[in-house]
Amino acid sequence: MSFGFELAGTDGAARAGVLRTAHGDAPTPTFMAVGTAGTVKAMTADAVRATGAKIVLGNTYHLMLRPTAERVARLGGLHKMMDWPGPILTDSGGFQVMSLAKLRKLEEAGVTFRSHLDGSAHFLSPERSTEIQHLLDATVSMVLDECTPHPATYDEAASSMALTHRWAARSRAAFFPREGYGQFGIVQGSTYADLRRESADVLGAMDFEGYAIGGLAVGEGQSMMYEMLEATAPFLPVDKPRYLMGVGTPDDLLGSVARGVDMFDCVMPTRAGRTARAFTSAGVFNLRNARFMDDDAKLDARCACLCCARHTRAYLHHLIRCEEMLGPMLLTMHNLTYYQSLMILARAAILAGRYAAFCAETRAGWVT
Amino acid sequence: MSFGFELAGTDGAARAGVLRTAHGDAPTPTFMAVGTAGTVKAMTADAVRATGAKIVLGNTYHLMLRPTAERVARLGGLHKMMDWPGPILTDSGGFQVMSLAKLRKLEEAGVTFRSHLDGSAHFLSPERSTEIQHLLDATVSMVLDECTPHPATYDEAASSMALTHRWAARSRAAFFPREGYGQFGIVQGSTYADLRRESADVLGAMDFEGYAIGGLAVGEGQSMMYEMLEATAPFLPVDKPRYLMGVGTPDDLLGSVARGVDMFDCVMPTRAGRTARAFTSAGVFNLRNARFMDDDAKLDARCACLCCARHTRAYLHHLIRCEEMLGPMLLTMHNLTYYQSLMILARAAILAGRYAAFCAETRAGWVT
């Protein structure tokens, strides 16, 4: 089956669609659970499926270091290794190289760095990143880009964006096309609307299977992020999926869908689950708080996940106080289910032409 | 339904039976997964069920400190709290008081101690232990005993045993009988066959619903443990279940079933799962070992658990190296399944009159 994106309906700038891939479909808007090292932390693959997730993300930087791309390939690819036959999107590794690796050296050719794990030397170029993602058998590969640091002057942003564009062309040339697989370009341009538009135009002409919007949620604030989405999304091809990288809170997701974004990924629901925080229809709770000690209500009255169906807030509080692994397991399960439900309900609202009302009702529910 | 034990068949001293309780049946021999603080570590209750487990164990010492017995009762009991509607056996708390608590003072009335968590003062008597287990809603309660330290002189063992007998009588008097619920006495007597027999006789006369054999697997070695089982089991009522506390390795289980034991509990399969060790039909593996890095075989060729059905040894090795929670989760799942399978196959072999051959075949498979 060929890789594709079908628009099922719109409501203002908000879009409901379907991403079609060699590994199955994902209705959009969609949230991709982060499976950094070949596992969504604290979750079996079956549990990830039970949250409603249709597509997950893997991190090239982590996987190239452990267990290595070549080993993943020998083991039959990432899908088989992690028991996730559905679509997998991998990032290019560039973002983590800049945030995690040591002794980085960025050049036109690529980036040389030392592993944060053992200090071993590695080189990542647009070609090698593309090859690694091919070895991992990523359904969606990302081009290697430079995530422009924030804040950046106009000249810094323009120069960084130009490098991203040159790397995008090299990544595209290195991409090995296969039926049902795709590669996404990444729009940069920092907080400058004209650069964002230019980036969308330049990358749009390269005819990627989809487009990511990068370099946001890096400290610029929600209103600036929205401003940049408004300066970018309208200039991206309407028939291609749009992916906002590394975003975000439930509120960020609602606001970004309203501005034409189709796909998201973020460690927030999984990381929060490991630090006792729960996203619910009533807002965010910290289950470590003593006020939950005798609370025999379910975590989220509107949720049907295993955690909410079977357990009380008091039990979750108990597990967290005892540092029992089941605490993070159940909260991760719930948080991912909450994120998936939010996207499923958003999609239904878009198709019903009542997305703004849905957002208002959802936000009104967040009382904590 | 009334609490009971039905013998379905024997092969030599080995017994196949069914434990019948208010919370369902458990075919024996059976292994009880340890759910210390109201959770089998690293497992959802559904995952515990999927291992084939029919009865789990809770630790009174841990639960009385957190979340407290009264709170468990307010939350509807341990079954509801931990999503385990099946039978639950709780220990008396005595063993952990002596091994974990601080500033212990053992008297005829009971034991005073300070919590290892916050130093708070607590008192555990036969009556209070029985009350706590009632509040927890334990299907099977254990009498408070003194687990005689090893080694003990004959006089020390006799004196300790006598205290256990007096506490057993007080525990029995404090027990609140309910349909389908039971209380087990605990045989002590250290490594002295005549004391073991005396203890079996004295407790047998108190007409408990079942009998535990305590004070073993505390350093006396497997052959002495077997000697004591042979000095005890024949003198216990034939129509009551026999539970060997805190045992043990798969080999210990096979040898103890051969000597008439029906029930076991041990942290071994769960703890091993959190330290990269796997019990398999081919023996014990440490999945941290680099030799598994490229091993694309399933963990145990004879196992149908989720871990074995879906993943390779190489993936487990990767998860462990990355310290991903899924490693302990999958290994715990497998280890508990292995223990359950061992008991299920043992039962079938007993009923088929080929238990000795089954043990020989199973042990021959353990090549590592």
**Which sequence spans correspond to the domains of chain B?**
4-266, 275-368
B207 an active-site residue? no
B112: alpha, beta or left? (left if phi > 0; alpha if psi -120 to 50):
beta
Q: Quote the pLDDT of residue A102.
A: 85
Q: Which residue has the tokens 């026999």?
A: B242
CA distance B137 to B56: 13
The answer, yes or no, to whether residue A305 has pLDDT greater than 70, is yes
CA distance A27 to B284: 44
Q: How far is CA A250 from the centre of its chain?
A: 13
B 280-299 residues with CB below 8 A of A? Answer: 293-294, 296
Catalytic residue among B11, B91, B137, B145: B91
- Which chain A residues contact residue B314 at CB under 8 A? 67, 71, 75, 81
CA distance B360 to B368: 16
Q: Quote the pLDDT of residue A83.
A: 97
> Does the CB of A39 have a partner CB in chain B at under 8 Å?
yes
User: Which residues have CB under 8 Å from A45's CB, separation 6+?
Assistant: A82, A83, A84, B310
Tell if the CB–CB gap between A37 and B324 is shorter than 8 Å: yes
Q: DSSP character for B325?
A: T
Mutation for A interface: B322, B330, B331, most A CBs within 10 A: B322
R_g (Cα) of chain B, nearest Å: 20
Reported pTM:
0.98
Tell if the CB–CB gap between B44 and A312 is shorter than 8 Å: no
Q: Quote the pLDDT of residue A172.
A: 98
Three-state DSSP class for A10? strand
| CB of A110 closer than 8 Å to CB of A128 | yes
| CB of A87 closer than 8 Å to CB of A24 | yes
Catalytic residue among A137, A262, A265, A300: A265
Tell if the CB–CB gap between A322 and B42 is shorter than 8 Å: no
Q: How confident is the model at residue A181 (pLDDT cuts 50, 70, 90)?
A: very high
The structure tokens listed for A150 are 């924030």
Summarised one tens digit per residue, pLDDT across range A10-27 is 999 999 999 999 999 999
- Print pLDDT tens along chain B (368 aa): 689 999 999 999 999 999 999 999 999 999 999 999 999 999 999 999 999 999 999 999 999 999 999 999 999 999 999 999 999 999 999 999 989 988 899 999 999 999 999 999 999 999 999 999 999 999 999 999 999 999 999 999 999 999 999 999 999 999 999 999 999 999 999 999 999 999 999 999 999 999 999 999 999 999 999 999 999 999 999 999 999 999 999 999 999 999 999 999 999 999 999 999 999 999 999 999 999 999 999 999 999 999 999 999 999 999 999 999 999 999 999 999 999 999 999 999 999 999 999 999 999 999 98
Q: Quote the pLDDT of residue B1.
A: 63
Catalytic residue among A11, A91, A262, A300: A91
Tell if the CB–CB gap between A318 and B76 is shorter than 8 Å: no
CATH of domain A4-266: 3.20.20.105
Tell if the CB–CB gap between B306 and A81 is shorter than 8 Å: no
| CB of A229 closer than 8 Å to CB of A261 | yes
Q: Helix, strand, coil % (nearest 5) of chain A?
A: 45, 20, 40
Q: Quote the pLDDT of residue B149.
A: 93
Summarised one tens digit per residue, pLDDT across range B126-176 is 999 999 999 999 999 999 999 999 999 999 999 999 999 999 999 999 999
Neighbours of A74 (CB within 10 A): 15
- Which chain A residues contact residue B45 at CB under 8 A? 310
| CB of B299 closer than 8 Å to CB of B308 | yes
User: Nearest residue on chain A to B331, judged by CA atoms?
Assistant: A44
- Residues linked to residue B149 through DSSP beta bridges, in sequence order: none
- Which chain B residues contact residue A71 at CB under 8 A? 293-294, 314
Average pLDDT, chain A: 97
> Which of B73, B13, B88 lies closest to B242, judged by CA?
B13
The answer, yes or no, to whether the previous bond of B237 is cis (omega within 30 of 0) is no
Average pLDDT over residues A131-157: 97
User: Which residues have CB under 8 Å from B267's CB, separation 6+?
Assistant: B34, B36
> Does the CB of B302 have a partner CB in chain A at under 8 Å?
no
Tell if the CB–CB gap between A306 and B44 is shorter than 8 Å: yes
Q: DSSP character for A183?
A: E
Tell if the CB–CB gap between B83 and A321 is shorter than 8 Å: no
Element (H, E) at A167: helix A154-174
Distance from CA of A246 to the nearest CA of B (A): 21
The structure tokens listed for B202 are 């004295």
**Side chain identity at residue B323, one-letter code:** E
A91 an active-site residue? yes
User: Which residues have CB under 8 Å from B240's CB, separation 6+?
Assistant: B5, B208, B209, B210, B211
Q: DSSP character for A242?
A: E
Neighbours of B133 (CB within 10 A): 34
Neighbours of A346 (CB within 10 A): 25
Q: Quote the pLDDT of residue A295.
A: 98
| CB of A233 closer than 8 Å to CB of A241 | no
| CA torsion through residues A340, A342, A345, A350, sign | negative
Tell if the CB–CB gap between A41 and B324 is shorter than 8 Å: yes
Q: State the count of interchain CB pairs (< 8 A) between A and B.
A: 108
Q: DSSP character for B221?
A: -
The answer to ipTM > 0.90 is yes
Beta strand ranges found along chain A (DSSP E)? 4-11, 14-21, 24-28, 30-34, 56-58, 88-90, 102-106, 111-114, 121-124, 140-142, 182-187, 210-213, 242-244, 263-265, 277-280, 283-286
Measured in degrees and rounded to the nearest 5, phi and psi for residue B104 equal -80, 145
The answer, yes or no, to whether residue A1 has pLDDT greater than 80, is no
| CB of B329 closer than 8 Å to CB of A67 | no
The answer, yes or no, to whether residue A103 has pLDDT greater than 70, is yes
Q: Residue length, chain A?
A: 368
CA distance A8 to A304: 27
Element (H, E) at B174: helix B154-174
Average pLDDT over residues A210-228: 97
Q: Quote the pLDDT of residue B2.
A: 85
> Measured at the alpha carbon of residue B59, what is the angle toward residues B53 and B62, in degrees to the nearest 5?
135
